[in-house]
Structure 1
Amino acid sequence: MKHNLRTRGRALALTVVLTVGTAGCSVFSPFQTAETQSIGDGVAVPGLPDFQVENLALVTGVEGGDAVVTGTVENTGSDKVEFTISAGGSKASTTVDPNSVVTLGDADLTLSGLEEGAGDMVDVEVSAVDKTVPVLVPAVDPSGYYRPYAPKGWTPEPSPSSTAGEGSEEH
């Protein structure tokens, strides 16, 4: 019986040591919920009082073409606000009523002659509530769930199709 108690004692001691040793593993790691992150393809725009801009992205098919502005803006203030975005020499704006949210893809905001193409980051300036904030915004391809926001006149490149004889080998 003494051998059994000794084994149990060692196992209990090992369990206590391992529990205490691993309990502090996350002490120096911040909680992921404590850090603000963009969870979509677009970016958030900080620093606009009474105004939130989330998931801002530009949908463009080709370099030098038009880009549709997508994302959401929320006016948490009590006055109407003019939201403006500009890139290069192009500018687009919409009015956001007090205490309301606007989906930008539905607001028909388009920047013309955007030099960058899909996959690039674009320097833009966002203005609202008498403040302008510079931000890097991703340009995305008008495919997948961005297809409905493709710029007017954009036509997708044809996808490669297979022919009847492709993939077979001749012997």
Structure 2
Amino acid sequence: MKSSPKKRVQLAVTAGSAVLALLGATGCSATSLQATTLQYSASDGIVEQVGPVLLRNILIITSDEGEPGRLLGTMFNESDSPVQVTIDGENESSQITIEANDKYVFEDEVDDDGTLQGISEIPGALVDLDFTVNSESQTFRVPVLDGTLEEYREYVPGGFTPEPSPSEEAGEEDH
């Protein structure tokens, strides 16, 4: 049984309408990037890799622009041999040896606290740091934070002094 040309056109229009309705029901998700497929740093610091070294939650804590800053975070050496990591900042360079399949946690190091002199950016900004492992080098924009968050207060070089709130300042004027 053959269908008439008119019937075929009606079927094509119906099928096309169904496809359009289906696309409309899916919203923009058919053409939009899904945020759950993106990899990102789920922390305050950077999450990167240079050669066999994983950089996890690397950030700088400082009290203000021009003041010393302290590196926080962890570096993991995933290789079977020790590696030399060089971190070049604005005014200085640090070299750290990480043993094979070991880690270096800045917060745990008392002798070498990872202090960088004269951070040129205010808390909330990003500072370029060069990380070199063996002969591979990469520059990353590392966030600068202050002691506003309680978990970072003990790491602020020179200690953390909170800013007075507007209500505290107003109360001082009344006296």
- Normalised by the shorter chain, which TM-score bucket? 0.7 to 0.9
| Percent of paired sites with the same residue | 26
Query: What is the SS of the residue equivalent to 1:26?
Result: helix
**Bigger proportion of residues as helix:** 2
The 1:87/1:19 distance shift into structure 2, 3 A limit, reads same
Q: Deviations over 1:19-47 (max 9, x none)?
A: 7753585343444343210111112234x
Amino acid of the residue matched to residue 31 of structure 2? F
Normalising by structure 2, we get a TM-score of 0.71
Aligned residues, how many? 151
Find the counterpart in structure 1 of residue 103 from structure 2: 101
Query: Separation in 1 of the partners of 2:142 and 2:57?
Result: 9
- The aligned residue for residue 82 of structure 1 is 84
SS in structure 1 opposite 2:128? strand
Q: CA RMSD in A?
A: 2.9
Distance 1:30 1:164, change over 3 A: closer
Give 4+ residue runs of structure 1 displaced > 4 Å after superposition. Answer: 17-21
Q: What is the distance in 2 between the residues matched to 1:79 and 1:128? A: 12
Report if the CA contact (8 A) 1:45-1:133 is conserved. no
Aligned counterpart for 1:135 among listed residues 136, 140, 149: 140
TM-score, scaled relative to structure 1: 0.72
Q: Which residue of 2 is the match for residue 39 of structure 1?
A: 42
Deviation for aligned residue 1:119: 1.6
Unpaired runs of 5+ residues, structure 1, are 1-16, 167-171
Question: CA shift at 1:134, angstroms?
Answer: 1.1
Rate the CA distance shift 1:20–1:62 in 2: closer, same or farther, 3 A.
Answer: closer
Query: Which residue of structure 1 aligns with residue 125 of structure 2?
Result: 120
SS where residue 29 of structure 2 aligns?
coil
CA deviation after TM superposition for structure 1 residue 133, in Å: 0.7
